[in-house]
A and B are shown apart, each in its own frame.
Chain A
């Protein structure tokens, strides 16, 4: 089981190609928001960029918060999404500890499904699909400064 990781974000140049690829190829949108990975500057362009994306929690708080089964636990971390079950309550986004779930204006949530289709579009190899074993997933993938202790 593989998960999307962002091990080399210090190389990011802010082109947003990953977000556009996700929106285009996964969600059939032109957007830098309705995507499973979103790029923000961390306090102005001189301080570099950060990625907001699912860190593959196991158990996933968003899946636990989802009242309808639209989000269920994905083996290896993250969630399996069934959009037809979503009632757009937004509880998944509220539960996410790293702001990885985007709600559009209608309340539809967008989250990384760890498919890796964004990876080849990064010109600086910031992103990487990483094999995980069930026991190694979860907390270990959450960056230290983003863990809820």
Chain B
């Protein structure tokens, strides 16, 4: 619903009740990233550890969610078990539209349930169900049981749930959203786990009147036409894995724990190969006609008499990089099979794959052995990686429990820090060069999506430090605007400031429409202020030696340039965080 304030549902698991809270601040905090920052300021405890039961778990949508296509994502915010600092993780699925039609701008969960539980929310309903029998179940079993337990709203609800990784406090535990999407990074799953919260089901069962302006239908149609046009065809057709071949050709694909950046063997796991050979069908986030979700299949023979099971597994560039190129697994079906194990455990497959890549090299170099890894790890050995992924998800021994807290933490104990591919968290699938490495290492989410550093590397020929820093800061501001709306970042080329202005005007958010710059700068600063208050010290960021050894099509990484970028970007972040109002 279009309104100037925020309508929040605050659920306290400790007492098993909720409150509807109305908060001012639409014109200042927008929604999404900005709203999450506001809510963490109000309900969070930056000085306390992530696993304090009073820490909030926040899900926030934006002012345009549902009103325009691809305004279809949700910002999840929490204090992260990965670095014990304020963090955001984003996902789509049906989460955003379900919140919109539950008539909520955000859901905030505090406290810890006495018994493993599930929150079921609708526009006219709030139930906290005790589900001790679901604890210990994997993500898929949990989904099946939830569908039986919460019978209403099929098709118009979101099911957010965790697997064993979240229950055991893994800092790589994701929150699965509607089977094929994830609040993947920085351990949101463990935040649910520590609250004894196995699942959240949100039913979107309300309807609203449309804005009465004559502009709204016109602007909607314009956005819809653009979003189903050629600009989005990349995501509609091959999907994000189209990057695999491009990066491999330009020596920018992390391979074999980043020991190399190109390899002819990667030709078998390109996006085109996946699309031709393992793609089963596509799916979409609610409110998105692009349908970028690519779902492949794995088939496993379980009896010699030709008896099989099959599973559907969603894939993207990042999972293929993490358990394909990084582990030198070059059979698409085996890549999907490893992703599938990660999905069941409720792990962030990106972090988990990169962690196993480090572990494999650590075995090769003698830092660890089978005593730690239980199964012998070797690049390309997909069967053992499937087992290792499960061991990591379950936290099967001291080694895997420590690795699940982050590759760098494991490397600090066992050795091998130089080749731990960690940039704030386990790297994403871009070895494009200095600006990207600085961007992920220092970026707010430690994500390739914080700013377009990878794009800057690919397009820029020179090494202009101030130009790069200026780009990172300004591009982050633009993306903060989109993640406050909350638009899918794939739509960033369509939702320009000009179009966003008209969208906001058409639904009546006049102030926001006319103040995109100052508002997004304010949210950018506020996020950094909270991050710094929760313990982030950008000056202390260390880039592992492996990143200095990378060679791309542009040549070897320039140590001085990368070092300078880190120093200057750290200063810029410090300035952003200290000038926040």
Interface residues in chain A, defined as those with a beta carbon under 8 Å from any beta carbon in chain B: 13-17, 20, 23-25, 28-34, 38-41, 43-46, 48-49, 104-105, 121, 123-124
User: Which of B156, B179, B286, B291 is in CB contact (< 8 Å) with A123?
Assistant: B291
CB neighbours (8 Å) of B293 from chain A are 13
Contact A40 B208, beta carbon cutoff 8 Å: no
How many pairs of residues, A versus B, come closer than 8 Å at their CB atoms?
A: 89
Residues of chain A contacted by B281 (CB below 8 angstroms)? 13, 48
Q: List chain B residues, Cβ under 8 A from A28.
A: 209-210
Could you tell me if B210 and A30 are in contact, using CB atoms closer than 8 angstroms?
A: yes
Cβ of A129 to closest chain B Cβ, rounded Å: 19
Query: Which of B156, B284, B285 contacts A40 (CB under 8 A)?
Result: B156
* A15-B144 contact given A24-B210, A29-B207, A33-B207, CB 8 Å threshold: no
How many angstroms between the C-alpha atoms of A40 and B293 in the bound complex?
18
How far is B94's CA from A16's CA once the two chains are assembled, in angstroms? 10
Known: A15-B289, A41-B155, A123-B289. A29 touches B208 (CB 8 A): yes
User: Which one of B67, B147, B287, B291 has the greatest number of beta carbons of chain A within 10 Å?
Assistant: B291
Contact A16 B283 (CB under 8 A): no
Which residues of chain B are near A34, meaning CB under 8 Å?
207
Contact of B144 among A23, A24, A44 (CB under 8 A): A44
- Whole-angstrom distance between the alpha carbons of A24 and B205 in the complex? 16
Closest 10 CB pairs of A and B: A40-B155, A31-B207, A15-B284, A13-B291, A13-B284, A123-B289, A30-B208, A34-B207, A45-B179, A17-B289
Q: Which residues of B contact A39 (CB under 8 A)?
A: 155
Using Cβ atoms and an 8 Å threshold, which residues of chain B touch A33? 101, 156, 205, 207
Q: Which residue of B lies closest to A46 (CB)?
A: B312
Inter-subunit contact B144/A104 (CB<8 Å): no
**Residues of B with C-beta under 8 A to A24:** 210, 217, 220
Size class of the B contact interface (CB-based, 8 Å): 35 or more
CB-nearest residue of chain B relative to A110? B207
B498 CB to closest chain A CB (Å) equals 23
A45 touching B283 in the complex, CB below 8 Å, given contacts A30-B208, A104-B207:
yes
Q: Chain B interface (Cβ within 8 Å of chain A)?
A: 66-67, 69, 97, 101, 124, 143-144, 147, 154-156, 178-180, 204-210, 217, 220, 224, 228, 236, 281-291, 293, 312
Knowing A24-B220, A45-B178, A123-B291, the reply to whether A15 touches B101 (Cβ < 8 A) is no
Q: Are B291 and A32 in contact (CB under 8 A)?
A: no
B69 touches A17 (CB 8 A): yes
Chain B residues with CB below 8 A from A38, complex form: 155-156
Question: Which of A30, A44, A46, A48 interacts with B66 by CB under 8 Å?
Answer: A30
Closest to A124 in B: B291
Chain B minimum-CB-distance residue to A29: B207
- Asked whether, in the complex, the Cβ of A15 is within 8 Å of the Cβ of B288, the reply is yes
Q: Which residues of A sit under 8 angstroms from B205, Cβ to Cβ?
A: 33
Q: Which of A20, A23, A31, A49 contacts B287 (CB 8 A)?
A: A20
B572: min CB distance to chain A, Å: 39
Which residues of B have CB within 8 Å of A31?
Answer: 101, 206-208
Q: Chain A contacts of B154 at CB under 8 A?
A: 40-41, 43
Q: Specify the chain A residue showing the minimal Cβ separation from B290.
A: A123
- Identify the closest chain B residue to A47 (Cβ): B312
Q: Is the CB of B210 within 8 A of A29?
A: yes
Task: Using CB atoms, name the residue of chain B closest to A10.
Answer: B281
- Bound Cα distance from A25 to B210, whole angstroms: 10
The answer to whether A123 touches B204, judged by C-beta atoms less than 8 angstroms apart, is no
Is B207's CB under 8 angstroms from A14's CB? no
* CB neighbours of B208 from chain A (8 A): 29-31
**Which residue of A23, A45, A123, A124 contacts B207 across the interface (Cβ within 8 Å)?**
A23
Can you name the residue of chain A whose Cβ is closest to the Cβ of B94?
A14
Q: Which residues of B contact A17 (CB under 8 A)?
A: 69, 287, 289
Smallest CB–CB gap between B65 and chain A, Å?
10
Q: How far is the CA of A14 from the CA of B154 in the complex (A)?
A: 12
Whole-angstrom CA separation of A45 from B154 in the bound complex: 10
For residue A45, which residues in chain B have a CB less than 8 angstroms away from its CB?
178-180, 283
Asked whether A30 lies within 8 Å of B67 as measured between CB atoms, the reply is yes
Rounded to whole angstroms, the CA-CA distance of A149 and B530 in the bound complex is 64
Residue of A nearest to B207 (CB): A31
Known: A15-B284, A16-B97, A41-B154. A29 touches B290 (CB 8 A): no
Contacts of A46 in B (CB 8 A): 179, 312
| Min C-beta distance of A146 to chain B, whole Å | 17
